[in-house]
Structure 1
Amino acid sequence: MQIHNLMSSLAVSLSRNFVIFIFIFCLAGNYVLNYLATRPKLATFVTQALIQLYARITKLGWFDCQKDEYVFRNVITDVTRFLQDSVEHCIIGVTILSQLTNEINQVSATAFFSEADTTHPLTKHRKIASSFRDSSLFDIFTLSCNLLKQASGKNLNLNDESQHGLLMQLLKLTHNCLNFDFIGTSTDESSDDLCTVQIPTSWRSAFLDSSTLQLFFDLYHSIPPSFSPLVLSCLVQIASVRRSLFNNAERAKFLSHLVDGVKRILENPQSLSDPNNYHEFCRLLARLKSNYQLGELVKVENYPEVIRLIANFTVTSLQHWEFAPNSVHYLLSLWQRLAASVPYVKATEPHMLETYTPEVTKAYITSRLESVHIILRDGLEDPLDDTGLVQQQLDQLSTIGRCEYEKTCALLVQLFDQSAQTYQELLQSATASPMDIAVQEGRLTWLVYIIGAVIGGRVSFASTDEQDAMDGELVCRVLQLMNLTDSRLAQAGNEKLELAMLSFFEQFRKIYIGDQVQKSSKLYRRLSEVLGLNDETMVLSVFIGKIITNLKYWGRCEPITSKTLQLLNDLSIGYSSVRKLVKLSAVQFMLNNHTSEHFSFLGINNQSNLTDMRCRTTFYTALGRLLMVDLGEDEDQYEQFMLPLTAAFEAVAQMFSTNTFNEQEAKRTLVGLVRDLRGIAFAFNAKTSFMMLFEWIYPSYMPILQRAIELWYHDPACTTPVLKLMAELVHNRSQRLQFDVSSPNGILLFRETSKMITTYGNRILTLGEVPKDQVYALKLKGISICFSMLKAALSGSYVNFGVFRLYGDDALDNALQTFIKLLLSIPHSDLLDYPKLSQSYYSLLEVLTQDHMNFIASLEPHVIMYILSSISEGLTALDTMVCTGCCSCLDHIVTYLFKQLSRSTKKRTTPLTQESDRFLHIMQQHPEMIQQMLSTVLNIIIFEDCRNQWSMSRPLLGLILLNEKVGRPNPSGWVKLTLIRSDPRTRAQSHILQMNKGYSGRAGVWGPRPGMAVDCMRKLAWHLPAP
């Protein structure tokens, strides 16, 4: 245990101080190898710690030389002696290679570069990974395959634990090689499973050799099932090699061998009873279509037999719905991609999908219906509870089901009619058991979900009138079921069935309601014949009727309420649909009666959380859009609409006017009210309507919002809605905040904004120490909203901020000083750890550096250094918005500094301001900050895959010129040195040549024109080796 702890501590220590100890740890690496070689039977955890230490040493020293030799790159040679000894030694050698491959592939390991390379751990990682890939990885892969062939040919005794361990380590090594991030583009493996493995061209020989692929299929059939998942994982990666690795003939041959191997597994499926094997094999099947075209698959000799076997396997898997449910995704993905390719396949060979896709569709539908009774009977977990998984599967089924749609529709009609008839009979029977009713409701829930999915899978260019008529048949049945269930809501309702209905309505809305839908569709003809719904307006009336019914009966059920209101919100966005909606009497009823009396979710429920009121914002956003259609300048109509909100504000004001009041009631009333107002403010994006809202709320009710912040600043459930409302009010969306030239309202609005930011900011800073797991909810979220609020106010172009100082108004200064206080209370790490906070901070900082540099220049040195450090860190952020904002901030700052420096050298009657002079002095005292940011920008432009090169180039020239003025006298030489240190390979000389071409020593500036700096950087990029 002491050795293990020592090795772990040593690994961390060397990661942080590696530059100092190159020679020492070169010796340490050799010592570790010798120690392992002489003690092959150490405890596993000790051996693992030593191997990890060696891998870390090798990675960090990959580019370090002694006497022109890369001392840490002789890995294969060093490990060969282990492979030539006993089985125990061989296991150690293979484990070293496996751990090293994994270590170099992991970006996280370079987090320990923080002191050796403070700005570019990712750049350093990619250089090491690319070099390792080019120099060693293929040799390691070849070695592992050869060892696997030897092991396979020796009939290993897997009862021998050592041989068992050797085979396992060999498979892990091979998988690590195939799973390597070859071109530096891989994200989290769990985020996208269907990716392409970017095998280098130099590996072609290994994959053109059919024995490589055959090796793993042979291993699968010859080793115990416990090893098979790793073998299949390797096959998954091999099946995913990039298409461009082969020419057409080679790809066809490779695919033929791959399909033959899959066929052999399907013909001998005994091992697939193991869940891990089954899961990996499903992944392998999915890769068949993700990486190859249907036109290529059908040309494989055994395609007819293979597609039959895959279909049978899929049907069997779907029927056993309780076995490995997460693996179904890959099977459905395969069939979804196959079905989607049918219109585009040009091969003359039959694809036979018209035979097998209906079987897959039927298996999925019937298995889900049959599962309902078993789940209810045995109390099993219901898949319908996982709406995300259900929706994912339905999205896949929507494409599969539209293939041979006549068969899908006929099946759905048959099953729906059977279940609906049985359900209706049970409801009419006095002796029906609740279990029987629940079973039928569960079956109908699945059918409604599936009908919505297949309707949503309609593709306009591939659909026919006959298919639209079939959609009409399905829609009629769902609407008839809805009428039946709605009639029973006063007595009982089924939440899952209601959610399925809402999913169906959403799919129907996307396809058949909107400006682009042909109203002559045969779907509408069928609706007219059966239900008397002659046009889109009548269908919209059904939508609104269902929405009102849900809000009436399901107002206390948050999932149904939120999805219902989202449906209403989506309907209110369409240009034509919103105008048709306004003419409906039901919509006019909503506009005139939006009170808790008619909509229970608008009431005060003391049993629910304050966060449950979020859906009210969605409701009032939709109502606001509907109101705006015919509002114009009708102030009477607006006042009538606002009556319920006026009454609520007056009630809160009455509570605040007394010394004792029910705090919980006041909180709930206020939170609900401000959420309502935020929805209205968001919807009112025209000047006329927004001015009505502004004049209604200011000055009458603004003090109430300020009072709420004073009282409940420590309760984010109250302050967050209030702050968000204020942030929305000051947001000049669509130029809605346009005040008359004689109006002071812009200044008055900013005063209120400043007052709220100052009130909240000063009080939130008194909270003291906040637990790490609660710091965002209790503190940082409110601060983030304040930053967004201030940014919106400063960039709204409706306030002349010069008048504040001119007339001695401290509103602007108070807001900016509060911003600084809040900023300094946040650790640097938190600025980038919380995405919403980082985006709001950097966008605000961009506005401040653009329009308020005099304020920035007047800050204390430690504050300026904090801000500059945050910019430096933000330049390397993964979020492109943050990175771009930092470039803009930096450009504004260096431009300001350079202008001030230029002015200071000229004879002027007006001297520099005190703030400007102090800012220059601070930068001259800390030239390393400019140098660090210049180094950061240069490294990103030259060495990284820069996604926003134009933004990065903006501050570049200013940084170089400024570095000469306040930092080093020879910026060209320093930049050259930086490049050499960043890339210690032989191409450093080419970088220097390019630098000499771009830099003009006579003038001390970059070239004859400003763009020369950027051009030089681009030329440098061409001289770098490919990643």
Structure 2
Amino acid sequence: MCDEQELVQLETLCKKLYESSDSDERKQAESALLMFSNSLDCLPKCQLLLERRDSAFAQLLAATTLTKLITRNPTGLSVDQRLDIRNYILNYLASNPKLAPFVLQALVTLFARITKVGWVDMKNDQFVFRDIIPHISHFVGGTVEYCNIGVQLISTLVIEMNQPNAHEANRSIFRHRKIASSFRDKNLYEFFQLAQGLLKSALEELKKNKILYDDEQTLISNLLKLIINCLSFDFIGASSDDSSDDLTCVQIPTNWRPAFLDMNNLKIYFDLFHLLPANISSLSLSCLVQLASVRRSLFTNTERVNFLNNLISGIRIILENPTKLSEPSAYHEFCRLLARLKINYQLGELVKADDYAKTLELIANFTITSLRMWSVASNSIHYLLTLWQKLVTSVPYVKATEPHLLERFAPEVTRAYITSRLEMVNEVVMNGLEDPFDEIGMVQQQLEQLSTIARCEYENTCSILVNLFDQAAKTYQDLMQTMPQSCAEVEIQENRLTWLVYIIGAAIGGRVFLNSNDEQDHMDGELAFRVLQLMNFTDIRLARGGFCKKLDLAILSFFEQFRKTYIGDQVQKTSTVYKRLSDVLGLSEETMVLSVFIRKIITNLKYWGNDEDIVTKTLQILNDLSIGYSSVRKLVQLEEIQFILNNHTAEHFPFLSNSFDIKYMKCRTIFYTSLGRLFMIDSGEDEDNLIGYVEKYAQ
């Protein structure tokens, strides 16, 4: 047995671990408590610690120690012992409803763990851990305070059953799936119905009283989290984790159909969104995100139309009065809901919805407003652009006679994105707004989405870009002649041009996703020659020491997009993009454009020798050309390629210097890998030529 002195000592160690400001003291306490947790006689001591209700930290130690004991050696305790622990925990919670939140969470985690571990255990030919509701009915059927505990017990159990945890690393994933499937079939729908029933009752009370006390608000919040956990369950064992938002189809079992055919159940979540306080209303939207993702085959065609109509109607009502969306989490979840709407439903189905036209207009206005609000998080914008990207991509496949209206609204979204990015530049340079180019991966993701949207009514996109680019380029060139290079106005124009070059590259790259024609190829030529003219200007400045890293990276990105779209055997050599480039720049076919690209590569490697980002990106393009350009023999015949093959020394390429920084080792590897491919094409099977080439530069 454990005497009073030992219990006091454990309490003291807990206080030191969680409250002491002395790191050494905390480490000593942690070490001593770890020894206690691993001791063979910790089980009876944990019960005594739980009874010491004046020390929340001691209670936490007892709960976590019991969880570790169950996890570490499930078979070390008999079925009766584990049943006793479970029953004791439930009785303890019933007797102590006002525990500290972290103690309550530790105890419900213990309940969930011991239930999962014992799921396949039998006593008297019965699975004694599987009847959950009878053991917690006094919680969910009691006061708000007790109901909160019951809901947390169920919600934590659903999470525990859904995912194989780290403690199961050495146990069969098959065993986890077997337990999860059994739990899904026996308990999950029952829990879902219970939560929906409690939510419905709470909503009725909320409509009557219009006031939520703290414990009532907590209960509704926990009920919504339980619904989310139920709908997020891995019903078919398809995923090993829930971190990916790509798993957008909720594979609801067929026997759940009644819950989804009753549109009043869908309406509950829209009503709760409008009535709940802003700090928890986002949870109702999270539920709607999952409901919008329910597998299509759960419904008949008529049922799916009815469900979609109600879903779109609810979205329209939110957009007509979007005040509640000012709360960031609610805004984000609503953006996710809009994206899921298109992911799970075909455009041909959406256009037939009763409120489609009005709702699409509201969504367009919402998107435009969002793009112009620089405080909106980029991960929320991602979902809005996903919606429009998927809508535009679907246009060629729509067979419905109803108008999709995207030719009206998609160009407005494109214009809003372009102009808002340019307007943002002033705030970045003058007022210290966070620069999007510091997160270039996010920018490139948005541009990839925009590339499809921009091709819808492409003449509008091209007209906008031409006008804005010409204005920015003229202003920039004028500034170079009249103002010092360090002034803020120069930086503003360089950043604006950077955005425009990136967007032009994305727009040209979008050609591969949608059907194109000679007129659109001509528009691509209009955009491309402007970027190449700008590059000529910036390269002259570069040779004189005028560096703009962002703009040069944007030009390299443009090269990538143009190469993928207009260079290669799959592209018609008579494409009107080359006609426009020939008219303005004399570049009548792809090898001439390639010469321009290679000259840019040489220029960058010469003048950006001290910048790892530029050098790496430039070499990646050279490497891609050596791999991806189908007519490599034509590439090797270019004077610029021959120059590289015969002059790869530090004189021309500073990163090859013997005094190079170690960070350039990767750059040199990429460089010589590319040269090796090109040289082998150039020399064929002439071994003497290869040996002589290597010996020449080995020194």
Q: Is the TM-score greater than 0.5? A: yes
Question: Which residue of structure 2 lines up, in the alignment, with residue 269 of structure 1?
Answer: 322
Q: Which amino acid aligns with 1:131?
A: S
Deviation at 1:589, TM superposition (A): 1.4
Cα displacement string for residues 787-845 of structure 1 (whole angstroms, at most 9, x for unaligned residues):
xxxxxxxxxxxxxxxxxxxxxxxxxxxxxxxxxxxxxxxxxxxxxxxxxxxxxxxxxxx
C-alpha separation between the residues in 1 aligned to 2:374 and 2:431? 15
Deviation at 1:188, TM superposition (A): 3.4
Whether 1:491 aligns to 2:548 is: no
Whether 1:502 aligns to 2:553 is: no
Q: What is the correspondence of 1:904-943 to structure 2 with a 5 Å cutoff? A: none
Question: Which residue of structure 2 lines up, in the alignment, with residue 310 of structure 1?
Answer: 363
How high is the sequence identity, in percent, across the aligned residues? 59
Runs of 4+ in 1 over 6 A off after TM superposition: none
For 1:363, what is the secondary structure of its paired residue?
helix
For 2:278, what is the secondary structure of its paired residue?
coil
Whether 1:176 aligns to 2:252 is: no
Asked whether the equivalents of residues 157 and 163 of structure 1 are also in contact (C-alpha less than 8 Å), the reply is no
Question: Which residue of structure 2 lines up, in the alignment, with residue 562 of structure 1?
Answer: 616
Q: 1:637 aligns with which of 689, 692, 695?
A: 689
Q: Which amino acid aligns with 2:505?
A: G
Question: Which residue of structure 2 lines up, in the alignment, with residue 8 of structure 1?
Answer: 64
Alpha carbons of 1:546 and 1:304: their partners in 2 closer, same or farther (altered >3 Å)?
same
Whether 1:446 aligns to 2:499 is: yes
C-alpha separation between the residues in 1 aligned to 2:228 and 2:684? 66
Deviation at 1:158, TM superposition (A): 5.2
> Which ranges of structure 2 fall in alignment gaps of 5 or more residues?
1-56
For 1:185, what is the secondary structure of its paired residue?
coil
Q: Which amino acid aligns with 1:132?
A: F
Cα displacement string for residues 536-573 of structure 1 (whole angstroms, at most 9, x for unaligned residues):
11111101111100111011111111111111111112
Whether 1:517 aligns to 2:575 is: no
Alpha carbons of 1:636 and 1:277: their partners in 2 closer, same or farther (altered >3 Å)?
same
Deviation at 1:612, TM superposition (A): 2.9
Asked whether the equivalents of residues 594 and 644 of structure 1 are also in contact (C-alpha less than 8 Å), the reply is no
> Which ranges of structure 1 fall in alignment gaps of 5 or more residues?
648-1027
Question: Which residue of structure 1 lines up, in the alignment, with residue 219 of structure 2?
Answer: 166
Question: Which residue of structure 1 lines up, in the alignment, with residue 177 of structure 2?
Answer: 126
C-alpha separation between the residues in 2 aligned to 1:407 and 1:8? 62
Q: Which amino acid aligns with 2:197?
A: N
Question: Which residue of structure 1 lines up, in the alignment, with residue 489 of structure 2?
Answer: 436
Q: Which amino acid aligns with 2:394?
A: S
Question: Which residue of structure 2 lines up, in the alignment, with residue 595 of structure 1?
Answer: 649
Whether 1:583 aligns to 2:634 is: no
C-alpha separation between the residues in 2 aligned to 1:49 and 1:133? 24
C-alpha separation between the residues in 2 aligned to 1:601 and 1:87? 69
Deviation at 1:12, TM superposition (A): 1.3
C-alpha separation between the residues in 2 aligned to 1:385 and 1:82? 51
Deviation at 1:430, TM superposition (A): 4.3
Question: Which residue of structure 2 lines up, in the alignment, with residue 145 of structure 1?
Answer: 196
Question: Which residue of structure 1 lines up, in the alignment, with residue 510 of structure 2?
Answer: 457
C-alpha separation between the residues in 2 aligned to 1:315 and 1:511? 29
Cα displacement string for residues 725-757 of structure 1 (whole angstroms, at most 9, x for unaligned residues):
xxxxxxxxxxxxxxxxxxxxxxxxxxxxxxxxx
C-alpha separation between the residues in 2 aligned to 1:443 and 1:269? 32
Asked whether the equivalents of residues 385 and 450 of structure 2 are also in contact (C-alpha less than 8 Å), the reply is yes
Alpha carbons of 1:461 and 1:368: their partners in 2 closer, same or farther (altered >3 Å)?
closer
Asked whether the equivalents of residues 423 and 440 of structure 1 are also in contact (C-alpha less than 8 Å), the reply is yes
Alpha carbons of 1:151 and 1:92: their partners in 2 closer, same or farther (altered >3 Å)?
same
Whether 1:626 aligns to 2:678 is: yes
Q: Which amino acid aligns with 1:481?
A: L
Cα displacement string for residues 502-535 of structure 1 (whole angstroms, at most 9, x for unaligned residues):
0000000111111211101011111111100111
C-alpha separation between the residues in 1 aligned to 2:148 and 2:210? 15
Asked whether the equivalents of residues 256 and 300 of structure 1 are also in contact (C-alpha less than 8 Å), the reply is yes
Alpha carbons of 1:174 and 1:575: their partners in 2 closer, same or farther (altered >3 Å)?
closer
Asked whether the equivalents of residues 210 and 254 of structure 1 are also in contact (C-alpha less than 8 Å), the reply is yes
Q: 1:396 aligns with which of 434, 449, 473?
A: 449
Asked whether the equivalents of residues 121 and 129 of structure 2 are also in contact (C-alpha less than 8 Å), the reply is yes
Alpha carbons of 1:384 and 1:495: their partners in 2 closer, same or farther (altered >3 Å)?
same
Question: Which residue of structure 2 lines up, in the alignment, with residue 23 of structure 1?
Answer: 80
Alpha carbons of 1:542 and 1:408: their partners in 2 closer, same or farther (altered >3 Å)?
same
Cα displacement string for residues 873-925 of structure 1 (whole angstroms, at most 9, x for unaligned residues):
xxxxxxxxxxxxxxxxxxxxxxxxxxxxxxxxxxxxxxxxxxxxxxxxxxxxx
Q: Which amino acid aligns with 2:312?
A: V
Deviation at 1:132, TM superposition (A): 0.6
For 1:447, what is the secondary structure of its paired residue?
helix
Question: Which residue of structure 2 lines up, in the alignment, with residue 37 of structure 1?
Answer: 94
Deviation at 1:485, TM superposition (A): 0.4
C-alpha separation between the residues in 2 aligned to 1:369 and 1:394? 14
For 1:402, what is the secondary structure of its paired residue?
coil
Alpha carbons of 1:35 and 1:431: their partners in 2 closer, same or farther (altered >3 Å)?
closer
Question: Which residue of structure 1 lines up, in the alignment, with residue 584 of structure 2?
Answer: 530
Question: Which residue of structure 2 lines up, in the alignment, with residue 353 of structure 1?
Answer: 406
Deviation at 1:193, TM superposition (A): 4.0
Q: What is the correspondence of 1:172-571 to structure 2 with a 5 Å cutoff? A: 172-193=225-246, 195-430=248-483, 434-459=487-512, 462-489=515-542, 490-571=544-625
For 1:228, what is the secondary structure of its paired residue?
helix
Deviation at 1:287, TM superposition (A): 0.5
C-alpha separation between the residues in 2 aligned to 1:568 and 1:109? 44
C-alpha separation between the residues in 2 aligned to 1:575 and 1:70? 65
Alpha carbons of 1:473 and 1:187: their partners in 2 closer, same or farther (altered >3 Å)?
farther
For 1:458, what is the secondary structure of its paired residue?
helix
State TM-score, norm by structure 1.
Answer: 0.61
Asked whether the equivalents of residues 194 and 290 of structure 1 are also in contact (C-alpha less than 8 Å), the reply is no
Deviation at 1:194, TM superposition (A): 5.5
Q: Which amino acid aligns with 2:597?
A: F
C-alpha separation between the residues in 2 aligned to 1:315 and 1:77? 52
C-alpha separation between the residues in 1 aligned to 2:232 and 2:696? 61
Q: What is the correspondence of 1:959-970 to structure 2 with a 5 Å cutoff? A: none
C-alpha separation between the residues in 1 aligned to 2:242 and 2:88? 35
Alpha carbons of 1:576 and 1:51: their partners in 2 closer, same or farther (altered >3 Å)?
closer
For 1:277, what is the secondary structure of its paired residue?
helix
Alpha carbons of 1:3 and 1:264: their partners in 2 closer, same or farther (altered >3 Å)?
same
Aligned residues: 639
Question: Which residue of structure 1 lines up, in the alignment, with residue 3 of structure 2?
Answer: none
Asked whether the equivalents of residues 103 and 109 of structure 1 are also in contact (C-alpha less than 8 Å), the reply is no
Asked whether the equivalents of residues 595 and 644 of structure 1 are also in contact (C-alpha less than 8 Å), the reply is no
Question: Which residue of structure 1 lines up, in the alignment, with residue 37 of structure 2?
Answer: none
Deviation at 1:320, TM superposition (A): 0.8
Asked whether the equivalents of residues 455 and 514 of structure 2 are also in contact (C-alpha less than 8 Å), the reply is no
Alpha carbons of 1:359 and 1:548: their partners in 2 closer, same or farther (altered >3 Å)?
same
Deviation at 1:229, TM superposition (A): 1.2
Q: 2:130 aligns with which of 70, 73, 87?
A: 73
Q: 1:136 aligns with which of 187, 191, 195?
A: 187
Alpha carbons of 1:575 and 1:268: their partners in 2 closer, same or farther (altered >3 Å)?
closer
Deviation at 1:187, TM superposition (A): 4.1
Q: What is the correspondence of 1:61-140 to structure 2 with a 5 Å cutoff? A: 61-108=118-165, 111=168, 114=170, 118=171, 120=172, 122-140=173-191
Q: Which amino acid aligns with 2:428?
A: I
C-alpha separation between the residues in 2 aligned to 1:173 and 1:598? 64
C-alpha separation between the residues in 2 aligned to 1:574 and 1:354? 35
C-alpha separation between the residues in 2 aligned to 1:26 and 1:16? 17
